[in-house]
Amino acid sequence: MQLEEILTPQRCYCRMDWSSKKRILTKISDLLAGQNLAIEPEEIYTALMAREQLGSTGLGNGIAIPHCRVANCQEIIGSLITLEQAVDYDSIDGKPVDLLFVLIVPQERSDDHVKTLAGLAEMLSDEDFCFTLRTTNDSEDLYNIAITY
């Protein structure tokens, strides 16, 4: 997986001050839909929340990969987010989350969805890489660090 195929500088958000899981999913839905993706924010939010209802996408160690498939989505869309303060995310280890990678995938691309999730999980299991992302103070730097991994 080449991260620059799904991530753009405009979809990297550094040190956001979002105070809850619901707020994170609402804000990222609005931001992604606002980038002319032909997807309504409610569509993204509803799909992300439906996935969370199946089980938290909080992986542990302060990391979450909220993801969903959306019918009107034309390409795989990624968004990398760091939070100013970690928030409760119902993670499997009970720890709050401060590093997220949101993944929106076209409805019909199930295989790509699974492969991309696996690649992201592997990338975010690298503690040094995550430390570097967490200590970055600029959204453009966040993007550049991510794509050079």
By annotation, the residues acting in catalysis are: 67
Count of C-beta atoms within a 10 Å radius of residue 35: 12
Count of C-beta atoms within a 10 Å radius of residue 135: 9
CB 64 within 8 A of CB 57: yes
Task: Write out the H or E segment, with its range, that includes residue 17.
Answer: none
> Which residues on neighbouring strands pair with residue 80, listed in sequence order?
12, 101
